[in-house]
Structure 1
Amino acid sequence: MALHPDFPLTTDRLRLRPFTRGDVDAVFGYRGREDVARYLFDPPLSREECALAIQQRTAQTGFAEEGDRIVLAVETLDDGKLVGEVSLIWRSVDARQGEMGWIFHPAFQGRGYASEAANAMLDLGFTGGDLHRIFARCDARNEPSWRLMERLGMRREAHFREHALFKGGWDEEFYYAILRKEWLSLRHSVAD
């Protein structure tokens, strides 16, 4: 199963597109923040580190083999402002599974952008990518993230307690997932 979508992906209010070198300042605007990095594996990134990350992301636009990822910039349709990013990683070829993630600038949280963009990525993974299951994970203290997973119709499958050291302390993680048939059922119930 290869997946090489046509970009951009559009929703009612958003455009999801590959990153470009011109996105460095906008990405640094949120990836350089301590409050954004709090639950990420990376510390706050410098502008130079953001430039390197963007350079990698410009090529992360399709699936050819297990471990590949699609990482897209999320910008508003009305003014073209980059508000965050979403990702989908091909975690298992045999089990047809993917992992989804997102990072949004705090100034644009609470407007439904993350839900809208994440729904587009679920649609991409289940329809375009023919995935069977998509999961997401977050630090158990990151309530906005796990609440988003619940709004997407994902179910909490695991709560790992003190399973790894993370930034000097024990990490607790929630894993959420949704199956393709569940996603299709949710889409049909919304359309009815």
Structure 2
Amino acid sequence: MAHPTYPLRTERLLLRPVILDDLDDVHAWQRRPDVVRWMLGATERTRAESRASVAAMATEDAWRAEGDCLTLAVVVGDRVIGAVELVWRSRADRTAELGYVLHPEHGGRGLATEAAAALLDWGFAEFGLHRVVARCHAGNEASARLLTRLGLRREARHVRSYRFRGEWADQLVFAVLAEEWRARALGPDGPGAR
């Protein structure tokens, strides 16, 4: 079993496992059309649907086997303003996939970048990942900018590669290797230089 030593702390955030008491905060963003707009298969959630989502996320506190998702609540003060996750994609290739969501009221201040960077730091330094990938809808410019700020490079644009809201859509694929992450984190423009 692998997980960070909880909580992870950054300059402005605390990252910890999701708990059932997070329902009100999680529902505050899951019910917003502007949040679920780019999420595959997601629609604005009812409170009951958010309760089921929180219950599922609360079990995602560690990697026990390949395919597991590690989901951490992004906390400012006493409020959960988003979540970051790493999905363990391959034990043999030491690869994971990054995901994130942030309540729009907290956007534009680098908080999603700070949270994702902290989780990537753990994945590379503590778990020994070799590579992390991230994917987003080609129209989701904010997500593509966040991944670029993190230091992930755009590797591909998969043209009309998946069904999104009933239509074929393009997907952007980003990635970063462990040695690139370490070099970026040490450099003057790295995530640690916020």
Matched, 1:4 2:3: yes
Gaps of 5+ in 1: none
Q: Distance in 1 between matches of 2:151 and 2:102?
A: 20
The answer (yes or no) to whether the contact 1:139–1:172 under 8 Å persists in 2 is: yes
Matched, 1:55 2:55: yes
Question: TM-score, normalised to structure 2's length?
Answer: 0.94
Matched, 1:140 2:166: no
User: Sequence identity, in percent?
Assistant: 39
Q: Distance in 2 between matches of 1:23 and 1:31?
A: 12
Task: Name the counterpart of 1:109.
Answer: 107
> After TM superposition, which residue ranges in structure 1, 4 or more long, deviate above 2 angstroms?
none
Q: Distance in 2 between matches of 1:161 and 1:104?
A: 27
The answer (yes or no) to whether the contact 2:82–2:103 under 8 Å persists in 1 is: yes
Deviations 1:29-71 (A, max 9, x none): 1111111111102111111111111111111111121001110
1:95 aligned to which of 84, 93, 99: 93
RMSD (CA atoms): 1.3
Q: Distance in 1 between matches of 2:162 and 2:142?
A: 22
> How many pairs align?
189
Residue 24 of structure 1: SS of its match in structure 2? helix
Counterparts in 2 of 1:34-183, with a 5 A limit? 34-41=33-40, 42-76=42-76, 79-183=77-181
Task: Name the counterpart of 2:12.
Answer: 13
1:186 aligned to which of 172, 184, 187: 184
Deviations 1:63-122 (A, max 9, x none): 12100111011011xx22211110001000110000001001111110110010010011
Deviations 1:123-160 (A, max 9, x none): 01101110000011111111110001000111001101
Question: TM-score, normalised to structure 1's length?
Answer: 0.95
The answer (yes or no) to whether the contact 1:3–1:128 under 8 Å persists in 2 is: no
